[in-house]
Amino acid sequence: MKISDKAFKVFVYSGFGVACPILVVTLGMLLAGYHISTEAKFWLWLVALVSLIIMVMALIRILCDFLPVDRLANKIRTYHHTSEVQAALHKKEIEDQKISTSDKIKEENPLKSYFVRQFVNKDYVNQPVFETYQELFKEKNGGKNVVLAFYCGADTNMNWLISIPTHAEAVRIFGEETVGSKNNYSVQKGNFTPGNLDDKKLSEIRTMKLLMKKILADLQEQA
């Protein structure tokens, strides 16, 4: 441990600065009845006070040499660096979890990815179209409702879908229990053709479109 030479010299010299005025005043008063003027006393005590302040500051500087200041500073810097590293690692861990979650969702729902890739119009790929059909088919399933929903989605007024899935594709995505038999599915597709729409079918189409749009809007609000 090395003590600052400069601080030590300042401490010693300021000690003399404190002691000398006191000795002068004391000796002047005790010896031969010498009387020091008020002005002289003022300047002597001012010098002593300033020297005392300097002496105290020098003493503090010397005491700092006995304290492990450098070691403490290194610990603070190390702690700060460690905190930054931990924060960076935590941020990376969160990002990795998000990526992992995203990959997991993709793995858990490959049918949605297939449906969106094969049938959803590019303007709606970021919309919950697949989820809309899922919600719709919970209440309205079977060949007629399924075909009607696909027809409405592919209609130019909605333009959700590029085309209507075949029976095999619909069964693969939504299940045979929801889609119904192949024969019924084919019959319903034939019923919903542009040249084969009566007033009743047009009314059903309008009702289905309104329901689908409502479900989509509700899902968008929940997102």
Give the tens place of pLDDT for each residue, 63-116.
766 666 566 666 677 766 667 767 777 777 777 665 554 554 454 488 899 999
Does 59 share its domain with 134?
Answer: no
Residues 122 and 167 in one domain: yes
Q: Could you read off the pLDDT of 95-108 as tens digits, one per residue?
A: 766 555 455 445 44
85 lies in which domain range? 69-107
| Closest C-alpha among 141, 152, 144 to residue 211 | 152
Candidates 176, 172, 182; CA nearest to 112 is 172
**Global pTM?**
0.52
Cα-based torsion angle of the residue sequence 137, 139, 141, 147 in order, rounded to the nearest 10 degrees: -60
**Same domain, residue pair 32 and 53:** yes
Total structural domains within the chain: 3
Whether residue 121 sits in one domain with residue 47: no
